[in-house]
Amino acid sequence: MTITAAADGSALGNPGPAGWAWYVDDNSWAAGGWPHATNNQGELKAVLELFRATADDPDDLLVLCDSQYVINSVTKWMPGWKKKGWRKSDGKPVLNVELLKELDQALTGRRYRFEWVKGHANHPLNEAADARARAVAEAFQRRAAIPAGPGWRSFDDHRRSAGASGQEEESPAIVVAPRTHPALFSFDDQHDGESVASGRHSVTLTLNDTEHARLLERARRRGVSVDELLRDLI
């Protein structure tokens, strides 16, 4: 599965009070910042903290980013900078080198890709990350409390918190719980009159507890119901 997250930075005045944020959903996001920094520093820090937060998660990471500077730094320029001792082609030191070095280390061993999204174009995840980064910058400007967010919540965290609160997980109609045979799903050859007439078929999916939890988490990340996700997969 793939974790899809947006990362963004904001600086009032650039440089000025600055914030960074990454966002998966309302239950899984984080933000921070500085009293004085640049927008590019916020953009880099957002991606860095996203990789750090998900470091122990085995899933791939898709980073939605509206900063060409960050994407090019990671995917194009960084190898050349490293070979030149973190200097550009003109021999001048690379800007934001400490953040870039930390990001380079955080990328090691990870499966990831970046996707550029246009900023301020009503992309839901990007807008959510931007709003949180800006809220931090404004909090520094007002010398107010920083809205830091809940941090990363994996599907294991989600299951544990649901169990502790006594709430049951969503029970999708298509899914039945314990695995009793190796088949992923089966189509029943015996249809009732209604299903034949409507052209619809019944699908039974058997999952163990871990697979069921991962399915719930995947649907949550996409913002769809489990039924919708399963129909897309099938």
Q: Which of 19, 32, 33, 43 is catalytic?
A: 43
Concerning whether 130 is annotated as a catalytic residue, the answer is yes
Burial (0-12, 13-18, 19+ Cβ within 10 Å), 100: buried
Concerning whether 60 is annotated as a catalytic residue, the answer is no
Concerning whether 151 is annotated as a catalytic residue, the answer is no
Whole-Å CA distances, 85 to 91, 94, 105: 10, 9, 15
Separation of CA 112 from chain center: 11
Q: Which of 9, 32, 33, 149 is catalytic?
A: 9
Q: Which of 33, 42, 130, 217 is catalytic?
A: 130
Concerning whether 57 is annotated as a catalytic residue, the answer is no
The dihedral through the CA atoms of 155, 160, 161, 166 has a sign that is: positive
Which residue do the tokens 């089966």 mark?
186
Q: Which of 42, 66, 149, 217 is catalytic?
A: 66
Tokens representing residue 39 in the block: 């927008």
The H helix count followed by the E strand count for the chain is: 9, 8
What gap in Å lies between CA 15 and CA 41, rounded to an integer?
9
Q: SS in 3 state form for 26-94?
A: CCEEEEEEEEEECHHHHHHHHHHHHHHHCCCCCCEEEEEECCHHHHHHHHHHHHHHHHCCCECCCCCEC
What gap in Å lies between CA 25 and CA 4, rounded to an integer?
9
Concerning whether 8 is annotated as a catalytic residue, the answer is yes
CB 36 within 8 A of CB 3: no
Concerning whether 90 is annotated as a catalytic residue, the answer is no
Q: Which of 120, 192, 194, 199 is catalytic?
A: 120
Active site amino acids: 8-9, 43, 66, 120, 130
